[in-house]
């Protein structure tokens, strides 16, 4: 009899989920990525924030930045939408990042030319497991306003 107890217990444990009344587990599906842009009237603000170590060396050199652990690159691109096109747009952006503990970082942005476009880039501190909330205050001829987004590292 004692040799049947482990078999009986394992059978009960396997059957317990079926008695829970919950639907069976489903296969994971890929979640749709949040849009990395916001529209302020005809002005479209593209943004991204990622670890500098995620960049390849050639791109880091072209941006004149050093790839480092605990550093992230903020990229902001202003475009004016017109007739289903995005044209270069000039403007000012003030960026701040806040972590979950409330520590704020002002992000100094500088212009980088890529063909006919001028993008704004800035470095900030981002450690593993940080969750940063970024706020952009944008002023341009085509539009103005605030844009906010979050990134986890």
Element (H, E) at 137: strand 131-140
Predicted model pTM: 0.76
Q: How far is CA 82 from CA 38, 46, 97, 119, in A?
A: 15, 16, 31, 19
**pLDDT tens per residue across span 67-107:** 999 999 999 999 999 998 999 999 999 999 999 999 999 99
* Nearest one of 152, 150, 153, 148 to 45, comparing CA atoms: 148
Residue 14 corresponds to which tokens in the numbers above?
A: 């396997």
Q: What is the CATH number of domain 35-152?
A: 2.60.40.3340
Largest CA distance in the chain: 84
Rounded CA-CA distance 26/28 in Å is 6
**pLDDT tens per residue across span 5-51:** 444 444 444 554 555 566 666 554 444 456 699 999 999 999 999 99
Cα end-to-end span (Å), the chain = 54
CB 123 within 8 A of CB 52: yes
Q: What ranges do the domains of the chain cover?
A: 35-152
Residue 28 corresponds to which tokens in the numbers above?
A: 């994971």
């Amino acid at each position: 009899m004692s040799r049947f107890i482990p078999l009986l217990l394992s059978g009960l444990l396997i059957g317990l989920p079926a008695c829970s009344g919950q639907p069976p587990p489903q296969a994971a599906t890929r979640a749709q990525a949040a849009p990395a842009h916001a529209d302020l009237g005809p002005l479209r603000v593209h943004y991204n924030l990622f670890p500098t170590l995620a960049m390849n060396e050639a791109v880091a050199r072209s941006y004149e930045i050093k790839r480092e652990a605990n550093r992230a690159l903020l990229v902001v691109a202003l475009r004016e939408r017109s007739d289903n096109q995005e044209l270069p747009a000039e403007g000012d952006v003030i960026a701040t990042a806040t972590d979950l503990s409330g520590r704020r970082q002002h992000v100094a942005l500088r212009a980088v030319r890529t063909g006919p476009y001028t993008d704004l880039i800035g470095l900030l501190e981002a450690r593993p497991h940080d969750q940063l909330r970024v706020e952009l205050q944008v002023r341009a001829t085509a539009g103005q306003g605030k844009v906010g987004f979050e990134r986890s590292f």
